[in-house]
Amino acid sequence: MNILKTNNLTKAYDSSHGIFGLDLSVDAGDILLLLGPNGAGKTTAFNAILNLTPSTYDTLNLLNEPLTDKSKIHIGAMVSKPSFYEEFSGLAYLELFKDIYGISSTRIIEVLALVGLKVEMNKKIKTYSTGMKQRLDFARAIMHNPKLLMLDEPFSGMDIEAKADFKRILKGLNQTGIVISSHMVGDLENIANKLVIISQGKTLYSGSMDQVKSSGLTLEEFYLERIQALKEVS
């Protein structure tokens, strides 16, 4: 089942900043890695897909229908640095979303356990480390079993153990379409099945990870080759 499709998604700030003609197709079970250097347009792409910033497009579909404010209930997202009510406990914070998503307290505790925060769920968020706050934000993003999960630089501030936990959870979300942005080549090489490389808002590669592997290059080499080619013609 197709979860997300964009055609010619564009948000231009000037001739070299924004995104220009971005095409994405994400099916249930896909993990698409949106890879590019800092300032490449990854966060802009996320904001455009989530309708957080005005954009133009030929197609912007969620679950084979045009995206609407109502249908965004099917999206879970981590975008930019999370902000919390620091005096709340992790559990109390997630309880704020219970009625919005129509989920039970049992489900909230289940998700906190899944992300490794059950022991700390009654502690105030202001006592959480950066990595723990990332885990809490991830719990918020997946608590309602979204059809589309969008994670913008989700590994920021995470240690090796937390990254491994995240990857394990992502692999288990096989009915969800997942888009993850990163500027770190090695974070998702082994779990993503689709790859889009962008720089200066332009798409330099869009295809499967299998094609990357069959090229005989490592992902880092494949990525740098395309970034260098863009620099040579710029």
DSSP string for 79-135? -SS----TTSBHHHHHHTTHHHHT--HHHHHHHHHHTT-TTTTTSBGGG--HHHHHH
- From residue 91, give the alpha-carbon distance in Å to each of 97, 100, 140, 171: 11, 16, 10, 25
Rounded Cα distance between 91 and 115, Å, is 13
pTM of the model: 0.94
The count of C-alpha atoms lying within 13 angstroms of the C-alpha of 94, restricted to the half-sphere facing its C-beta, is 30
The one-letter code for the residue type at 166 is F
List average pLDDT for each run of 10 residues in the chain, which is 234 residues long: 97 84 97 92 93 93 95 92 91 96 96 96 96 93 97 84 89 94 82 95 95 93 92 78
**How many C-beta neighbours within 10 Å does residue 94 have?**
24
Q: For position 16, what pLDDT does the model report?
A: 67
The domains found in the chain, sorted by start residue, are 2-83+146-233 (3.40.50.300)
According to DSSP, the residues that pair with 12 across neighbouring strands are: 18
DSSP symbol at 56: B
According to DSSP, the residues that pair with 24 across neighbouring strands are: 6
**89 Cβ contact partners less than 8 Å away, ≥ 6 residues apart:** 121, 122, 123, 124, 125
Rounded Cα distance between 105 and 96, Å, is 11
Q: For position 234, what pLDDT does the model report?
A: 67
Q: Kindly tell me the burial class for residue 26, based on how many C-beta atoms sit within 10 Å of its own C-beta (0-12, 13-18, 19 or more).
A: buried
Strand order in the sheet with 59-62: 17-27, 2-14, 59-62, 65-66
The one-letter code for the residue type at 21 is G
Q: Which helix (H) or strand (E) holds 43?
A: helix 42-49
